[in-house]
A = this chain, B = another copy of it.
Amino acid sequence: MLENKNDQRTPISDLGEFGLIDHLTKGISTIHSDTIKGIGDDAAVLKMNKNEVQVVTTDLLLEGVHFDLAYMPLKHLGYKAVVVNLSDVCAMNAQPKQITVSIAVSNRFTVEAIEELYEGIKLACQKYQVDLVGGDTTSSTTGLVISITALGTCLSGDVIYRSGAKVNDLLVISGDIGAAYLGLQVLEREKQVFAVNPKAQPDLEPYHYLVERQLKPEARTDIIKLLADLKVKPTAMIDISDGLSSEILHLSKASKVGCSIYEDKLPLDPQVITTCEELNLDSTTIALSGGEDYELLFTIDQKDFDTIKGNPNLTIIGHICAPEGGINLITRAQSQIPIIARGWNPLKNETHD
């Protein structure tokens, strides 16, 4: 009925998620003086008052793309949907305060199923002391859609961007990495087993930590508090939900620097190591590209080294260098390999180079 004026037909997969965002938001500028930071970080930053800024972030989760209800209980899904947004608030060094929750549901969901989802949402709100202040509820012709916006605040001088890393800063990561991805692999395997034999009783105990990291991740508000207590203000910060390799590239690009990450410093849980062996996967690759670990990656000035070193929640994994140095992994054998983004790309539906 309407004429198609587009002669050009470029598949979205040509650009991928970040390419598409860059392409669409190219040249967008802001006009309000209280818009301090627009597109390009974990969250936007708005001026609230003389002393405080507000951060705003939003995430869209679709059934069949971001989650599979075959092994993701609705209550966990609700909890996780909140957490992934709070993690972005943390990555700005802010305290989460409010969320809005929009959902679209098809008629295959019952009221009781949506209650389960909301139980998880409310549980996360309670745990993280966040107010659920609004949203939208509508129908979907197919699967479940969840869109959450999270708001938080921090003192004006405390907000941390991706762009502040300086040459010789140290690269620090909270917690450990790779577990959430392996948790997903284990659950996917059980789903296949179940498809063949619905009476099979899965023994997930050896993978308990991995499965928990996948199904019930936490946002590192505790790390924000720890850093404040230690009086360490990172120079740059990002959450590593899309995988360490992808996020280190974002941070380095935004800060216009290079960096070296040491393979032997990557923090891995013992279950990650044993499960990688079992599944014949390279644990370094998993740690670099796994994704869905809602940990924080940040840079600190060398003067803070003594305060950070030895803290069981934090691991120094490398350092920032000049941009000419590139972004490299220093292997156990002391060889230097350029890091490329291999995180999961929902717009290419495959890992990407």
Q: If A59-B102, A122-B28 touch, does A347 touch B111 (CB 8 Å cutoff)?
A: no
Stretch at the interface among A40-48, A158-166, A298-306, A322-330: A40-48
CB distance from A292 to the nearest CB of B (A): 14
In the complex the two chains form, is B58's CB within 8 Å of A134's CB?
A: yes
* Interface assignment of A129: CB less than 8 Å from any CB of chain B: yes
Q: Confirm or deny: A271 has a beta carbon within 8 angstroms of a beta carbon on chain B.
A: no
* Total interface residues in chain A, CB < 8 Å: 89
The distance from the CB of A52 to the nearest CB of chain B, in whole angstroms, is 8
Q: How many copies does the complex hold?
A: 2
Given contacts A57-B134, A139-B346, contact A32 B97 (CB under 8 A): yes
Q: Is A138 an interface residue (CB 8 A)?
A: yes
Complex Cα distance, B56 from A66, in Å, reads: 26
Given contacts A56-B149, A100-B149, contact A1 B105 (CB under 8 A): no
A222 on the interface (CB 8 Å rule)?
Answer: no
Most buried by B among A13, A43, A140, A191: A140
> Which residue of B38, B107, B113, B136 contacts A60 across the interface (Cβ within 8 Å)?
B136
The verdict on A147 contacting chain B, using a C-beta distance below 8 Å, is yes
Query: Which residues of B sit under 8 angstroms from A70, Cβ to Cβ?
Result: 1-2
Q: Is A313 an interface residue (CB 8 A)?
A: no
A36–B50 alpha-carbon span in the complex (Å): 19
Do the beta carbons of A11 and B98 come within 8 Å of each other?
no
- DSSP majority for the A interface? mixed
How far, in whole Å, are A156 and B84 apart by their CA atoms in the complex? 32
Instruction: Check B107–A13 contact: CB distance below 8 A.
Output: yes
A104 touches B136 (CB 8 A): no
Query: Smallest CB–CB gap between A69 and chain B, Å?
Result: 9
Q: Are B104 and A145 in contact (CB under 8 A)?
A: yes
- Nearest B residue to A22 via CB reads B137
Nearest Cβ distance between residue A154 and chain B, in whole angstroms?
A: 13
Contact A133 B11 (CB under 8 A): no
Report if A143 contacts B (CB, 8 A): yes
Is residue A10 within 8 Å, beta carbon to beta carbon, of the partner chain?
Answer: yes
Check A337 for interface membership: any CB of B closer than 8 A.
no
Which residues of chain A from 98 to 126 have a CB within 8 Å of any chain B CB? 98, 100, 102-105, 107, 109-116, 118, 122
Q: CB of A21 within 8 A of chain B?
A: yes
Q: Within 8 Å of chain B (Cβ to Cβ): is A331? A: no
A204 vs B140: C-alpha distance when bound (angstroms): 30
Report which of B39, B48, B133 forms a contact with A134, defined as CB distance below 8 A.
B39
**Inter-subunit contact A135/B98 (CB<8 Å):** no
> Could you give, for residues 245-285 of chain A, a 1 whenever the CB lies within 8 Å of some chain B CB and a 0 otherwise?
00000000000000000000000000000000000000000
A334 at the interface (CB under 8 A from B): no
Q: Does A30 contact B (CB under 8 A)?
A: yes
Do A141 and B35 touch across chains, with their CB atoms under 8 A apart? no
Say yes or no: is A12 at the interface (Cβ < 8 Å to chain B). Answer: yes
Neighbouring B residues of A44 by C-beta, 8 Å: 98, 100, 133-134
**What are 13 contact pairs spanning A and B, CB under 8 A?**
A1-B71, A12-B139, A24-B114, A35-B98, A39-B132, A43-B134, A58-B147, A60-B103, A60-B147, A62-B139, A100-B149, A142-B143, A149-B149
